[in-house]
Every structure is written in C-alpha cells, then in structure tokens.
Amino acid sequence: MKRSLKSALEVSGIYLIVLIMFVVILYPLLWAFSMSLNPGTSLFSLKMIPDNWSLEHYEWLFNNPSSNYTLWYKNTLIVAVINGLASVCLVSIVAYVFSRFRFVGRKNSIYTFLLLQMFPVLMGMVAIYLLLNTVNLLDTFTGLILIYVFGGLPMNLFLVKGYLDTIPRDLDESAKIDGAGYLTIFFKILIPLASPIIAVVALFTFMAPFFDFLTPQIIIRSPEKFTLALGLYNFINDKFSNNFTMFAAGTILIAVPISIVFLLLQRFLISGLADGATKG
C-alpha cells in the first residue's frame, strides 16, 4: 500500500511539473497570438481572444505596399536553408573524420574545439567585423551565413562526433571486408544510423537565423537585406512607434516554416532510430 501510494505521488509530481512547464511555455504564446488579433496597437486585452478580433495585422504584413515583411521572410529563409544545409554537410564530414580516423594533431584539435565551445561568438564580433570588412563580405548574406556555420561548428561537432562514437566500428570493418570505401561507409552506413542527431543539427541551424538579432544587427546594413528579427525590431524601435500588435503578428508567423521543417525531420528521426535498432 505504501509502495503504491509512493508511486502515485511520484507520478502526480511528474505530471504537476509537466503541467507547470506547459503553462509557462504556452501562456506567452497564447498571449502573443491574442495580441496579434487585437485591432489597433493596444498591448492588453481582458480576454484571451478579443471580442472584436481581426486579422488586419496579418493582412497588412503581406498586402500593404509599405510592408517589407515578405522580403524579410524571404531573406531569412535563404539564410536559414543555406545555413542548415552547409552546417549539416560540414559538421557530418568533420565529425566523421574525428570519430573514425587517427592523425597528428587530432587531440589538440578536439581540445581547441572544446575551448572555442566555451566562448560565445559575440566575444569575437569585433574581429569578425573587421575580417568581413577586409574581404568585402560585410553587409552580405555570405558573411552572415559563414558566421552562423562556423560559429555553431564546435557545439554541433561534439554532438555528432559523440553520436558517431556510439556506432560500433565493427560495421565499418564488415563493410571494408565487402569492399566498401570510406565514402561508401560514410554515406550508406554512418549517415543513416546518425540521422537522429543530424536531424537535430539541421533543425537547430535552420532555426538560428529566425531568432538571432545581434549578429544581423552587426553585419547587415542595407534595409533590403534585413532578416525577420532585424526587420521586426523596427516595428517597436522607431521613434514614437508602438506597433506591438503588428510585431506580435509577425513573430507568430515565424513558427510556420520551423514547424514544417520539424515535421519533415521527425520522419527521418524516427526512421533513423528504427534503422539503428535493427542494424545494431
């Protein structure tokens, strides 16, 4: 009886913690959505869904000639897609090299990446700014993407390398006996088995340009090259500007491409786990 009561209390405690986390995460989202439906520029509403709710803010973002929202959206999607693809390709190859090969300087390189992981990219922004200015990549998508790709390389490298280290090397040896080369092992064995962690890296790197404000603020100067975070900031940053409801509508729409990418990658995540269980 005591054991069943203890188990019931533990389960109740877990559900209570999950409920609190759910409320903490969901309430700001619901409040932002409610604010985006509120006509005018008022921040507050007595009801979660206003009585006179309207989609005028969403219509203005896409239909008003003075709105650059679609341009910001397109710029962000370009940066996000290229960043995601480039990061996945680079991280996968580098992690494969560090996980499966032994070479001079390997240990020191790992320690260097570990050290770089401890410091945020913004600590070197002055040097990065000067470097991009020297090579004429300032105020370009190329310079912004390079910062995203190589700035996230240390953390993503350790994630993928740690996962590859858990895959038995016997699979590599069996493939070599059958005549497979390094590239065949990499693409046909390790990549399918490591698809869960690769999907995580792809999702995180795709999300980064949507939420990052400081990096584009430093690198991008031309208004026609603004990303969503940088462009939406103008709604509440301009003098005498109080377009918070318009800002809320713009931020809510950011979730659309991220949700789509998550649903697409979820399929690879599940199939990768199933393949790993079968081949392991």
The pLDDT tens digits for 74-113 are 999 999 999 999 999 999 999 999 988 888 888 888 888 7
- b/e sequence 33-58, b meaning 16+ C-beta within 10 Å: bbbbbbeeeeeebeeeeeeeeeebbb
Helix axis angle for 195-211 and 153-166, nearest 10°, is: 170
Report phi then psi at 183, rounded to 5: -65, -40
Q: What is the pLDDT of residue 209?
A: 93
Q: CA 76, CA 73: separation in Å to the nearest integer?
A: 5
Q: Answer yes or no: are the C-beta atoms of 194 and 268 closer than 8 Å.
A: no
Token pair listed for 56: 């005028």
Q: CA 247, CA 253: separation in Å to the nearest integer?
A: 10
pTM of this prediction? 0.84
Backbone dihedral region for residue 99 (phi beyond 0: left; psi -120 to 50: alpha; all else: beta): alpha
* Structural domains for the chain: 2-54 (no CATH), 61-279 (1.10.3720.10)
186 DSSP assignment: I
Q: What is the pLDDT of residue 137?
A: 92
How many residues are given for the chain?
280
The alpha helices in the chain, defined as continuous H runs, are 2-37, 56-63, 69-100, 106-117, 125-134, 141-151, 153-166, 170-177, 182-185, 191-193, 195-211, 214-219, 228-237, 244-252, 255-279
Residues of the chain scoring pLDDT < 70: 1-3, 5-6, 41-48, 121, 238-242, 269-280
